[in-house]
Structures are given as C-alpha cells and as structure tokens.
C-alpha cells in the first residue's frame, strides 16, 4: 500500500484551470518522507516522474515497499495503464481523460515567501488545498515556483490523509532537478511482456486512478 499512497501524494494532477500549470514536458525527481499511522511505519522514497502533456503520457519510476523496482506508465492517448513490477506487467484500461497538472482554482493562496539566502533566492507561492477522493480526504499545503511565461512547478508538498476507517498517513515531498525535456522517451514504452491483456488487480488500479486526478 505504501507505493499507492506515495504516488497519490506526489502526483497531484489537478484539474485544468486558468491558473498556472506545469510546462508540457517535465522530468523531475521527487523525494517523499512519509508516516503511516497503522503500524507506525515510516518510509522514504525517491521517484522519477516523467510528464508529457502533448503525448498525454505520464511515467513514474520508483521502488515499492519491498524494494522492487516499479514503473507505472499511464498512456492516456492509448487509454492504458501499465504497472511493471520486477519484470511482471499488469495492464488495465484507463478510463479517465488526461488532465494537465495545474494549481486548481479551489487551492487557497496563502501568500508568497522567499527561499534561500540572498545569493540565489527564489520566490515561491504557498497554497493550501483540501481534497477528497472516494473514502480518502487529504489536507495539503504546497509551494509553487512561478516560471517566466506563466508556467510553474511544484517545490514541495506536505499532506495529511485519512479515511473513515481510521487509516491515516502523512507525507512530505520535495521536488528537485527539474528538466523540461525528456531525453529518453522509451520510459513511456511498455516492455513486451505487457502485450497480453491481464485485467486482474482492478481494485488496485481503481484506487490509483482515483488518486491520480488529484496528484501531481
């Protein structure tokens, strides 16, 4: 379950709005530090996120709770999601349409602050946002760095989530090493073992899909 929650928070893909959005092509490293109340488990994760709004594809590469490499490819143009875990591939249909990753209109602007130490300062905009998706509600605070031209990127995110059954988690994530060109687009190509359709594990994907709407 760790990976699901992790990705849920990292991937705030928020519905399209006139407010600022990610540039159309982004590759970024995200570090997440989380705590799951049940079992008092804490975790630390590094993922690589690839986002291509023109091709409507998103890929996430990271490790799951037991140290296996996981790559999740969401190909909205082909309406397929591929989850490749240690060479095993699960393919499911992707029902929801692609949405650009943006700051949603429901986010509350909390003011700007300056990060740094006068040598290379960066002005960031702070927001708060409460979202709920299915049984899970998430309170979050995040920082956005504006870019010339009107786009923006995520700097960091703190989130606290819970459901009606008392499941609780929190996560802090930091986004770094942005690049606005994906040098190796093969990350979006599912390996050949993904060819055979296998629609098992639907529940997992429904959960993931549900979270994705709100996750960067």
Ligand X SMILES: *[C@@H]1O[C@H](CO)[C@@H](O)[C@H](O)[C@H]1NC(C)=O
Binding site for ligand X (CB under 6 A): 29, 68, 83, 85-87, 90, 108, 128, 130, 139, 177, 200-201, 204
Two tokens at 134?
């299915």
C-beta closer to ligand X: residue 55 or 63: 63
Concatenated DSSP letters for the chain? -HHHHHHHHH-B-PPP-SS-B--SEEEEEEEEEEEETGGGEEEEEEEEEEEETTTTEEEEEEE-TTS-EEEEEEETTTTEEEEEETTEEEEEE--SPP---B--TTSEEEEEEEES-SSS-EEEEEEEEEEEETTEEEEEEEEEEE-TTS-EEEEEEEEEEEETT--EEEEEEEEEEEESS-S-GGGGSPPGGG-S-----HHHHHHHHHHHTTB-
C-beta closer to ligand X: residue 1 or 55: 1
Q: How far apart are CB 156 and ligand X at their closest, in Å?
A: 14
C-beta closer to ligand X: residue 149 or 166: 166
C-beta closer to ligand X: residue 8 or 83: 83
C-beta closer to ligand X: residue 85 or 126: 85
Q: How far apart are CB 83 and ligand X at their closest, in Å?
A: 4
Q: How far apart are CB 154 and ligand X at their closest, in Å?
A: 15
Residue of 2, 17, 85, 16 lying closest to 56 (CA atoms)? 16
Q: How far apart are CB 72 and ligand X at their closest, in Å?
A: 9
C-beta closer to ligand X: residue 85 or 172: 85
Q: How far apart are CB 44 and ligand X at their closest, in Å?
A: 12
Which residue, judged by CB position, is nearest to ligand X in the bound state? 200
Q: How far apart are CB 48 and ligand X at their closest, in Å?
A: 8
């Amino acid at each position: 379950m760790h990976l699901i929650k992790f990705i849920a928070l990292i991937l705030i893909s928020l519905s399209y709005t006139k407010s600022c959005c990610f540039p159309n092509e982004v590759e970024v490293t995200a570090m997440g530090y989380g705590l799951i109340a049940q079992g008092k488990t804490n975790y630390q994760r590094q993922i690589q996120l690839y986002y291509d709004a023109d091709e409507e594809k998103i890929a996430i590469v990271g490790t799951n709770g037991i140290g296996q490499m996981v790559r999740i490819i969401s190909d909205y143009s082909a309406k397929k999601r591929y989850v490749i875990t240690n060479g095993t591939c699960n393919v499911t249909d992707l029902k929801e349409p692609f949405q650009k990753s943006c700051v949603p209109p429901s986010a509350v602007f909390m003011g700007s602050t300056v990060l740094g130490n006068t040598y290379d300062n960066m002005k960031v905009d702070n927001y708060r946002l409460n979202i709920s998706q299915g049984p899970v509600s998430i309170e979050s605070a995040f920082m956005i760095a504006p870019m010339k031209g009107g786009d923006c990127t995520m700097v960091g995110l703190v989130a606290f989530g819970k459901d009606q059954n008392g499941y609780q988690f929190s996560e802090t994530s930091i986004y770094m090493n942005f690049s606005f060109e994906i040098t190796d687009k093969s990350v979006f190509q599912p390996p050949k073992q993904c060819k055979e359709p296998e629609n098992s594990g639907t529940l997992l994907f429904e959960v993931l899909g549900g979270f994705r709407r709100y996750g960067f």
